[in-house]
Amino acid sequence: MGELVAKLKASAVAAVVMSGCHTWFLRRHCHHVTILMYHGFFEENRADGLEQYGSRWCGIGDFKGQLDYLRCHTHVIPFEQLVEHYQTGTALPDNAVVITMDDGYASNYRLAYPLLKQRGIPACIFVSSRFVEHREFLWPDRLEYSVWKTDSDELEIIIDDESLRYPLGDEQSKIEAVEAIKLQVKDLCHRDRMTLISQIEDKTGQTLSDQGETPVLLEPLRWNEIGDMIENSLISIGSHTVRHPNLTTCTDEQLRDELVSSKALIAQKTGKACSLFCYPGGTYDGRVKRFTKEAGYHCAVAIGGAFEKKGETDLFELKRVGVARGMRVYGFIGRLLR
């Protein structure tokens, strides 16, 4: 049903674009700033099915179409220009768009960066420092990998002495199981979350590790790739914490470490100050915001699916619009024109 509605919406947007009316919609939105949120990318003709286990993967063909639309009809600006606008009131172009990518996947460099570079389009990549520095995989990747790979027909997990069972008989059941488990672990503190992920890896017998064959989709960036991207200042690097925890569940000490250690490592490795921050899972509260400011960041992005207005905003609650897998160019334009 959701897919049908998405298709109908995309057809409606296609009709609007073909009639030329989309420029009228864009003019209506010209005082808004849209911050787009991507994660990793995959080559459609090499997809192995793992990309279906989460909405955060974008086909590189779709991304190319989206960039071409943005280049023709909007102004994609560096994140720093947006921050400066809110700090000092400097002018922004109409229909300003900022591109962000979360986590630090190698596909940002290997697939997305060549397209950005060809077109001279800037972007900001938020890196989880332990993922890149130690190739310590992120918990959603570990969960998705172990369920995707397993031959078991069922998974039983224990949370708070309660037994939960998920059928894994076919691909669709596996995808649904991953979605359900993500909801279960969303609000857990990092230690409990990782204990549960280890429990799932034990039960499925499938562990994502750097020793084995890492699916190309889940590979982290390398520092030399980051160095290459920041050389011409088209790409900026922000922090996405050290371990990617739900920050609202961290103690004060853990919170400080997540904010300060990642900032320091990124600055040391890139030779550039790291002043942009991204809340993992878009989750924050008043304490997290306060600590983020105290750590010396200039802004922080969340999720929120909304648009920022020019002029005034809370720089530590910047909302972003997620671009989902399978969002063809008309679906994407629909997100921009909402």
What does the binding site for Zn ion look like in residue numbers (CB under 5 A)? 102-103, 280
CB of 206 or CB of 246, closer to Zn ion: 246
Q: Are 168 and 152 in contact (CB under 8 A)?
A: yes
Report the C-alpha dihedral over residues 42, 45, 50, 54, rounded to 10 degrees: 50
Distance between CA 65 and CA 328 in Å, rounded? 8
For the bound state, the minimum distance from the C-beta of residue 243 to Zn ion, rounded and expressed in Å, comes to 11
CB of 139 or CB of 330, closer to Zn ion: 139
For the bound state, the minimum distance from the C-beta of residue 36 to Zn ion, rounded and expressed in Å, comes to 15
CB of 84 or CB of 317, closer to Zn ion: 317
CB of 235 or CB of 247, closer to Zn ion: 247
3-state secondary structure of 277: strand
CB atoms within 10 A of CB 69: 17
Pairing of strands 40-42, 57-59: parallel
Distance between CA 182 and CA 159 in Å, rounded? 13
Q: What is the largest CA-CA distance in the chain?
A: 59
For the bound state, the minimum distance from the C-beta of residue 56 to Zn ion, rounded and expressed in Å, comes to 8
CB atoms within 10 A of CB 156: 12
Distance between CA 274 and CA 237 in Å, rounded? 7
Residue in the shown chain whose Cβ atom is closest to Zn ion:
102
For the bound state, the minimum distance from the C-beta of residue 173 to Zn ion, rounded and expressed in Å, comes to 26
CB of 103 or CB of 141, closer to Zn ion: 103
CB of 102 or CB of 144, closer to Zn ion: 102
> Cα-flanking dihedrals φ and ψ of residue 127, to 5°?
-105, 130
For the bound state, the minimum distance from the C-beta of residue 303 to Zn ion, rounded and expressed in Å, comes to 10
Residue 292 CA, distance from chain mean position:
19
CB of 22 or CB of 244, closer to Zn ion: 244
Angle subtended by helix axes 139-149 and 171-185, to nearest 10? 150
For the bound state, the minimum distance from the C-beta of residue 102 to Zn ion, rounded and expressed in Å, comes to 4
For the bound state, the minimum distance from the C-beta of residue 138 to Zn ion, rounded and expressed in Å, comes to 7
- Taking the CA atoms of 78, 80, 86 and 91 in sequence, report the sign of the dihedral they define: negative
